[in-house]
Structure 1
Amino acid sequence: MGFDRIKAILDQGLAAWEQQNGPAALHGHGPTFKWDTKANLLAAIGHGKQLIQPDLIGKDGASANLVIDLRTGIASPAFRMPKGGPFIPDTEVQEIVDWINQGCPD
């Protein structure tokens, strides 16, 4: 599994959210919150935190802020993303965990 699959999961999640809720502004994160390339995803910031912390790559994908945000939420109060759902299925979130654990391969 590579970045293309992770991008597809995130793209599909956003598309499902937009279908239910309308166009997303990505909460004003602007250029710091993109996943159009692997480099942008690895540099992405959400809720003021790096979404995939470099020290977790290849080790502990379940602790990545992106995964926590998709499973339970990292902000206070915690809001699972995308806020209000529909949420990315747990099986697909696990694919993201596995990808991080594998070192974020291309």
Structure 2
Amino acid sequence: MSASSAMPDWRVEKIRPQGVPQPEEWHPAGSGSFNNVGHQTWSSSRVAWCKATISPKPAAPPPVSYDEVVQGLSQVVRTYELPGRMRLEDVVEVFNDIWECEQGF
């Protein structure tokens, strides 16, 4: 078989993954126009991806004792674990207060 001869059909089928459009789908013989299958696939995937999904907003974490957290975090040995989930604003406030105390403000 010479290099210019076509690849056998059985080999083309093994190489081409499933779901990939056949050449006649994207450029039908004699039609004169190009059918951009890649753009169509991208557009349909984008529409599916952009659909609004409504998920419930997680409940706010329960309040934790401010004094307990400050005392635990300001220890020399850093093995303290927070008592539970905390809002970011609360954690930032606690660390700012600890930092101010250490700086002597």
Higher relative contact order (CA 8 A, sep 6+): 1
TM band (smaller chain): under 0.3
From the CA coordinates, give the structure whose radius of gyration is larger: 2
After TM superposition, the score normalised by the length of structure 1 is 0.25
